[in-house]
Amino acid sequence: MSTTAEQGSELRTERTTAKRHPERSTHEFVTITRILDEGIYCHIGFSIDTQPFVVPTAYGREGRALYIHGSAASRALRSLSEGLPLCLTVTLFDGLVLARSAFRQSINYRSVMILGVAHVVADDDKARALRVITEHVVPGRWADVRPPSSQELEATTVLKLDIKEASAKIRSGPPNDDEEDHTLPCWTGELPFTLEVQSPVRDARLAAGVRPPAYLTQYRRPSRDGAASDEV
């Protein structure tokens, strides 16, 4: 297993090195995985015939790889399957930063950017990769549901993106006001945001007596202070 420093060195490239506010940037694999493990969906950016596209989708992480999936008929999935370069991002919004001047207004966030080329998951490994995605979104769910049929697997494309070129960027804390603005009689500080899980809402056709499982009633995302895997 590589050390954190070595992992960060591996992930750093000229393209992933922050030019603005480099002090907020890191290439540490553990930090990157903590953000990825807390997130639920990502945005994938790519260009087809000079037209940029950004597509939101769920993902799952296993070690140093992310899995994404979609319809085999999707133009985006077909293009990405052919080796189209992509940029995948995950952002966690932590709150508003209210400064004394409009120029200094900001937000607190944690984000990850991964660059690379995705590869098609082989048919005999597709179900396992879909399990990774399902368990990332709702841990414990795969054992409860019907697994994909052969027809459903055939209609689905699963892509694997290795985490080889990546960076994280984090902004936290109070506003950075200009010194001369500190005397202004304007409230300043932070307005934190959190992702709040509501109570499960049963399907109208759910059989009587079927209660929500504990993994739903006790659903939580990994917290920023929680342990993250540095599995490689």
Summarised one tens digit per residue, pLDDT across range 88-139 is: 999 999 999 999 999 999 999 999 999 999 999 999 999 999 999 999 999 9
Show Cβ contacts of residue 42 under 8 Å, excluding neighbours closer than 6 positions. 56, 57, 58, 59, 66, 68, 88, 89, 90
User: Rounded to an integer, what distance in angstroms lies between the CA atom of residue 231 and that of residue 62?
Assistant: 8
How many other CB atoms are found less than 10 A from the CB of residue 186?
Answer: 11
Is the pLDDT reported for residue 10 higher than 90?
A: no
| Confidence band of 18 (pLDDT split at 50, 70, 90) | confident
The mean predicted confidence, pLDDT, of the chain is 90
pTM: 0.89
Any idea what the CATH number is for the domain that residue 208 is in? 2.30.110.10
Return the pLDDT at 84: 95
Q: What mean pLDDT is predicted for residues 149-168?
A: 96
Domain presence at residue 226: no
Domain presence at residue 74: yes
Q: Which domain holds residue 34?
A: 4-217
Q: What is the number of domains present in the chain?
A: 1
Domain presence at residue 100: yes
Domain presence at residue 224: no
Domain presence at residue 130: yes
For the stretch 109-139, what's the b/e string if a residue is b when 16 or more beta carbons lie within 10 angstroms of its beta carbon?
A: bbbbbbbbebeebeeeebbebbbbbbebeee
Q: In this predicted model, what pLDDT tens digit does every residue of 194-210 receive, in sequence order? A: 989 999 999 999 999 99
**Residues 48 and 86: beta-carbon distance below 8 Å:** no
| Confidence band of 224 (pLDDT split at 50, 70, 90) | low
Domain presence at residue 94: yes
% of the chain surpassing 90 pLDDT: 81
Q: Please give the single-letter amino acid code of residue 216.
A: L
Residue 213's Cβ-count burial label (10 Å; 0-12, 13-18, 19+) is middle
User: Rounded to an integer, what distance in angstroms lies between the CA atom of residue 78 and that of residue 209?
Assistant: 43
Residue 38's Cβ-count burial label (10 Å; 0-12, 13-18, 19+) is middle
* Measured distance between the N- and C-terminal CA atoms of the chain, rounded to whole angstroms: 7
User: Rounded to an integer, what distance in angstroms lies between the CA atom of residue 202 and that of residue 214?
Assistant: 14
Domain presence at residue 210: yes
